[in-house]
């Protein structure tokens, strides 16, 4: 970890770390293209089942006012948050060379933050690598060389993902937890780089 960046490494043959399962009741989102969109606790899978309308490709459009209401449950409190949906995002990643800065540009600006992820697999070990940084939504930023230095030199190219987010943090000090409500748009592309 460094500032707003981190690198994660996972063996591809082993499952990722288990999530802590909590029961928070139903979360309903109003104001999008599926209205209301309801997420309900779906048991031990660790995911929430939703009622997304068949054929809908985008859950919201830029500027939609989204209201998130959590009913609360055994482990999590009730909450209510309103977010304005962020605009779509597309990017223009530069060449990725481990150990060098990587400049990434994207369209638009103004959301709470943009998260950029560089993901690849080590050709020798088979381990999966993901370097992520959160940047201000200013239209361009650079991964520091100190972060890309952790990426493998032998790889099959990189997947670059850029996500624009509006977020609300709800803090519950007495319970020792934070609920983060996020409305996000994303874009993904494959890029090459040295080490192919």
- Record the tokens describing residue 67, joined without a space: 């209201």
Residue 177 and residue 169 in contact, taking contact as beta carbons nearer than 8 Å: no
Contact in structure between 93 and 160 (CB atoms under 8 Å): yes
Q: Are 166 and 153 in contact (CB under 8 A)?
A: no
Q: What pLDDT score was predicted for residue 118?
A: 94
- How far is it, in rounded angstroms, from Cα 26 to Cα 23? 9
The span from the CA of 1 to the CA of 15, in Å, is 22
Centroid of chain to Cα 51? 21
Q: How far apart are CA 186 and CA 104, in angstroms?
A: 14
Total residues found in the chain within this entry:
196
Which runs of consecutive H residues, i.e. helices, occur in 53-188? Answer: 145-148
Q: Would you write out the chain's pLDDT as a tens digit for each of its 196 residues?
A: 778 999 999 876 666 566 667 777 889 999 988 778 888 876 555 566 777 777 777 889 999 999 999 999 888 899 999 999 999 999 988 888 999 999 999 998 889 999 999 999 998 888 899 999 999 999 999 999 999 999 998 888 899 999 999 999 999 999 999 999 999 999 998 876 543 3
- pLDDT of 53 reads 76
pTM: 0.83
**Spatial separation of the C-alpha atoms in residues 68 and 4, rounded to whole Å:** 26
Could you give the CA distance from residue 112 to residue 83 in angstroms, rounded to a whole number? 11
Please name the residue that has the structure tokens 């748009």.
185
Q: What is the pLDDT of residue 11?
A: 78
CA dihedral 91, 92, 95, 96 (to 10 degrees): -10
**3-class SS of residue 147:** helix
Quote the pLDDT of residue 58: 83
């Amino acid at each position: 970890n460094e500032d707003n960046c981190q690198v994660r490494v996972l063996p591809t043959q082993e499952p990722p770390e288990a999530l802590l399962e909590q029961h928070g009741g139903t979360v309903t989102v109003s104001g999008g293209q599926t209205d209301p969109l309801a997420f309900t606790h779906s048991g031990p899978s660790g995911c929430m089942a939703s009622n997304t309308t068949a054929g809908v490709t985008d859950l919201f459009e830029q500027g939609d006012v989204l209201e998130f209401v959590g009913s609360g449950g055994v482990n999590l409190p009730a909450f209510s948050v309103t977010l304005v949906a962020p605009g779509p995002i597309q990017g223009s990643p530069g060449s990725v060379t481990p150990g060098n800065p990587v400049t990434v540009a994207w369209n638009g600006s103004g959301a709470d933050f943009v998260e950029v992820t560089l993901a690849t697999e080590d050709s020798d070990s088979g381990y999966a690598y993901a370097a992520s940084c959160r940047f201000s939504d200013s239209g361009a930023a650079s991964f520091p060389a100190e972060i890309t230095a952790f990426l493998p030199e032998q790889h099959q190219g990189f997947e670059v993902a850029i996500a624009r987010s509006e977020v609300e943090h709800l803090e519950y000090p007495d319970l020792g937890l934070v609920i983060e409500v996020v409305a996000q748009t994303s874009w993904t592309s494959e890029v090459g780089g040295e080490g192919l």
